[in-house]
Amino acid sequence: MEIEIKALACELPSESGLPFARFSHRDIARQAMARGIVALISGTTVWRWLDADAIKPWNYRSWIFPRDKRFAQKAGRVLDLYQGMWEGQPLEPDDYVISADEKTSIQARGRIAVGAATAAGQMRRVEFEYQRNGALAYVAAWDVRRAKVFGLCAPTTGIETHPRLVNLVMGREPYRSARRVFWVTDNGSSHRGDVSVRRLAQWYPNAIQVHTPVHASWLNQIEIYFSIVQRKVLTPNDFPDLQTLAKRLLDFQAYYETLAQPFQWKFTRTDLERTLAKLAPYMPQAKKVAA
């Protein structure tokens, strides 16, 4: 009986012709009684049984299927770099791996009233209403092996802004004299395609751009740093102007670098192969073949 209810919880309501998108524990209890799985059961009991196996059909998350035909190949190169390898050979001490991207359109939201700090028995309060004081982009790079952060703020991202970040990193040691500096980037407009690879090599002959697959930002370690910035600096968002916002971002960058350690990246090529094999039956092309 318990196993049947857990199986029911792992169905989509639409598969049973039910007019809602997600099951709650009470929905599952009602369906279990309607189907004759059990004569009587409470939603609380259903919740307790599901909780034992961490089954939560009322929760969901959005994601994007891999769509790059060379996903495994491109992702594998990035994962190799994180493991200290390139084209089957270990990286040398004077090789460096840089992860770079842009955090776009960060708004400066000036709250219309002063908030209240945390007090005994009371959480911090932030005024809900705000006025928009403009937006900027934060462009940053993360040295994967040395835990160094480089960044700048600009009105927008684009082909004019990206070279400034590259120069900020490559114009100083040890990168200027390095044997190789690998730049891991996504496919954003400012560093997309083979044109960007050639352009970077022209700027700095020891720089090698390595693109992540399309829709694979999770492979770019700078996104981990951006998530920290979002939590520690931008939430809640309360900045009277863009100058204050930019200063806070750069001040945090300097502060974080005093504490930073390389991220403990554990996802390897083996994990990638296992994940892609698991996703294969659900891929859009697989559905077309089945149809």
Q: pLDDT 10s per residue in the chain (291 long)?
A: 899 999 999 999 998 889 989 999 999 999 999 999 999 999 999 999 999 999 999 998 887 888 888 999 999 999 999 999 999 999 999 999 999 999 999 999 999 999 899 999 999 999 999 999 999 999 999 999 999 999 999 998 888 899 999 999 999 999 999 999 999 999 888 888 899 999 999 999 999 999 999 989 899 999 999 999 999 999 999 999 999 999 999 999 999 999 999 999 999 999 999 999 988 887 766 445 444
Give the per-residue pLDDT at 289: 43
Q: Do 37 and 176 belong together in one domain? A: no
Give the per-residue pLDDT at 286: 47
Give the per-residue pLDDT at 28: 94
Q: Do 195 and 158 belong together in one domain? A: yes
Q: Do 41 and 140 belong together in one domain? A: no
Burial of 258 (0-12, 13-18, 19+ CB in 10 A): exposed
Residue 281: what are its φ and ψ, rounded to 5°? -65, -20
Q: Do 26 and 146 belong together in one domain? A: no
Q: Do 47 and 75 belong together in one domain? A: no
66 part of a folded domain: no
Q: Do 125 and 192 belong together in one domain? A: yes
279 part of a folded domain: no
Q: Do 38 and 128 belong together in one domain? A: no
CA gap 140, 106 in Å, rounded: 14
Q: Do 245 and 198 belong together in one domain? A: yes
CA gap 142, 177 in Å, rounded: 18
272 part of a folded domain: no
CA gap 273, 40 in Å, rounded: 45
Q: Do 81 and 25 belong together in one domain? A: no
282 part of a folded domain: no
Q: For residue 235, what is the domain's CATH number?
A: 3.30.420.10
Q: Do 43 and 84 belong together in one domain? A: no
Q: Do 111 and 200 belong together in one domain? A: yes
Number of domains making up the chain: 2
Supply 288's token pair.
């077309």
CA gap 6, 55 in Å, rounded: 8
Q: Is 186 helix (H, G, I), strand (E, B) or coil?
A: coil
59 part of a folded domain: no
Domain enclosing residue 232, as ranges: 71-259
230 part of a folded domain: yes
Give the per-residue pLDDT at 285: 61
Q: Do 100 and 13 belong together in one domain? A: no
How many CA atoms lie within 13 Å of 37's alpha carbon, on the beta-carbon side? 20
9 part of a folded domain: yes
CA gap 234, 223 in Å, rounded: 15
125 part of a folded domain: yes
Q: Which secondary structure element, helix H or strand E, spans residue 80, and what is its range?
A: helix 71-82
